[in-house]
């Protein structure tokens, strides 16, 4: 598999609270995007601790599946939550997490928060994960439209993330096909760049590196209002 990853502070934020990683081991791969919440120091800490815990798990030669990855994220969430209670400067911290593990044939993903996993297959972009946002429930039960949600004053309020008392991550498994693109993004990208724009960028690009750089440039061109992270892999 061909991977490329990129992260940027953007044009407004003082620091980059996103943490990203791509790891490989014996034909297995792991990729993750974590978007830290709760202030500059706390957000950095929560996202980096979460990604580092994933790296340790991946290095221990375990075979990732939906059950053990969900349990891992619950354990990390409990650790982050308790650290926030014990240290004043970390109080209220948390992080989104969207990650996947793959052997190029099957992909296992785990997700909490509003970073996203996308699959681009046969010229069509599919959003695999659902945002854990308060507003998502209103969209799902057709109380409001997606267009109304995009301008709702509570659109960024999370239902859950890593670091909440009861983190319940979503998980899933995908069977991969040759030519698939797998994309992870933080909301600094997809809150400002539409799915149609992401889809067109992938169609017009030749490699994960070009895709990542072009998506980052699009987000910066519309203001770079948040930290921006993108990981792209081609099967």
Calculate the average pLDDT of the chain. Answer: 92
Pick the range with the lowest mean pLDDT from 24-33, 34-43, 145-154: 145-154
Q: Tell me the C-alpha to C-alpha distance, in Å, between residue 62 and each of 1, 25, 58.
A: 20, 11, 7
The 10s digit of each residue's pLDDT in 65-94 is 999 999 999 999 999 999 989 988 888 899
pLDDT of the residue at 149: 67
Delimit the domains of the chain by residue range.
2-133+162-234
- pLDDT of 136 over the 70 cut: no
- The secondary structure of 78-113 as a DSSP string is HHHHHHHHH-GGGTT-EE-EEEEEE-SSEEEEEEES
pLDDT of the residue at 62: 80
2-133+162-234 placed in CATH 3.60.40.10: yes
**Residue scoring higher pLDDT (155 or 122):** 122
177: number of Cβ within 10 Å:
11
């Amino acid at each position: 598999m061909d991977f490329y990853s990129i992260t940027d502070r953007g044009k407004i934020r003082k620091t980059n609270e996103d943490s990203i990683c791509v790891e490989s081991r014996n034909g297995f791969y792991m990729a993750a995007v974590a978007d830290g919440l709760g202030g500059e120091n706390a957000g950095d800490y929560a996202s980096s601790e979460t990604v580092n815990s994933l790296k340790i798990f991946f290095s221990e030669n375990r075979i990732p599946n939906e059950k053990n990855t969900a349990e891992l994220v619950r354990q990390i969430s409990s650790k982050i939550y308790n650290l926030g209670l014990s240290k004043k400067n970390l109080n209220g911290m948390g992080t989104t997490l969207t990650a996947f593990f793959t052997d190029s044939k099957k992909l296992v993903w785990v997700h909490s928060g509003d970073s996203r996993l996308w699959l681009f297959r046969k010229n069509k972009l599919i959003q695999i994960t659902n945002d854990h946002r308060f507003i998502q429930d209103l969209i799902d039960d057709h109380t409001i439209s997606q267009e109304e949600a995009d301008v709702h004053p509570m659109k960024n309020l999370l239902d859950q993330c890593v670091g909440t008392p009861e983190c319940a991550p979503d998980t899933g498994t995908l069977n991969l096909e040759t030519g698939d693109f797998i994309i992870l993004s933080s909301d600094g990208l997809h809150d400002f760049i539409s799915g149609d724009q992401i889809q067109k960028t992938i169609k017009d690009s030749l490699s994960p590196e070009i895709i990542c750089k072009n998506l980052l440039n699009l987000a910066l061109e519309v203001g770079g209002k948040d930290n921006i992270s993108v990981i792209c892999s081609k099967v």
